[in-house]
Structures are given as C-alpha cells and as structure tokens.
Amino acid sequence: MPFLPRRRPPTLWPMSDTKNIPEPEILDPEECWALLSQTGVGRLAVIVDGHPDVFPVNYKVDGQSLVFRTGGGTKEQAIRSDATVALEADTVSSEFGLAWSVVVKGKAAETTPTGPDPDNIRRAMFPWQGVGQEHFIRIVPESITGRRFTMNAPLLWRSSLDDATRAGFE
C-alpha cells in the first residue's frame, strides 16, 4: 500500500462570520496616483497568443501615465499586437493591518520619457534583466481603480504551512 500523507481536516470559516472579512475602501483617482508613486514595482498583464500573461515591471509615474522599460521580447511584442494592458501594484502590511491595490487599465505604446530630465527617468527605472531594456513603454490610463483594506486582526495573514490550504489535497 502506498504511503499517503496524514491529512488534517480543513478549517472551515462560517460564511456568516464577517468580523474577519476586511471591508474595502474605494479610493479616488488622486489617491491611487499617490499610492502608485510610493512604489515602483507592479505586475503588467498583456495578451500573448490569445492568452493572458503577467510580468513584473519597474515603473515610474510620469504625469497621469506610467512608464517602464523593456527589451524586445514577449512584453514588447504583446504591446505591439494588442496595446490594451493592465498594471496592478499593491502593498500589504500585516504589521499595521493595512493593504491596498491599484489597477491601471489602458493603452500602451512605445514612447520617450518626458519632463525636465528624461535621463533621470531612464536611470531611475532600473531594469531587472540589466542591459538591453531600451524600449520605453507608456501606459495611458482609460481607468484607474483602487481599494484599501483594513484588517481587524492582522495576524490572520500569518498562517503556518500546516494550516495553509494545499491545492493538491483540497
């Protein structure tokens, strides 16, 4: 008989118990832009061969748009073939019991940085893969949405591996 790992019964939370469910606060566009300016890493969603794909990117806020660097490859090809993209940035602080998420949806196109010193923008956007990331892409938003969550019990975000849901066993 093959060895089967011992399985703990799943902990089920009653759906009527809402005290542990964070209430979202809908953010206005100005607050979304302010939060986007506080971080520089997001996830870019594009369509590749008819399927969604997601890539981490370093971005900068430039006016009311986002810019990032990329090389010739999957992201650049996807942007050329279907310029509608989404970029999501977020932060979670279990210490303070806060989380936020901002999603920018819009058109992406190759561009040159604007502003008083485009070289500063180039230097500030350090590409994760080093050299060869000379395509500058600008996302001009068609929509920007955001939510902030306050958790009443921030320790709920810290689960031991024994208590975490395991997809293979559930």
Domains in the chain: boundaries = 28-155
Burial state string for 14-48 with b = 16 or more CB within 10 A and e = fewer than 16: eeeeeeeebeeeebeeebbbebbeeebebebbbee
Q: What is the pLDDT of residues 110-161, one digit of tens each?
A: 887 665 555 555 555 555 555 555 778 899 999 999 999 887 654 455 555 5
Residue range 66-99, pLDDT digits in tens: 998 887 778 878 888 877 899 999 998 877 888 9
CATH architecture group of domain 28-155: Roll (2.30)
Query: 132-142: b or e for each residue (b if 16 or more CB lie within 10 Å)?
Result: ebebbbbbebe
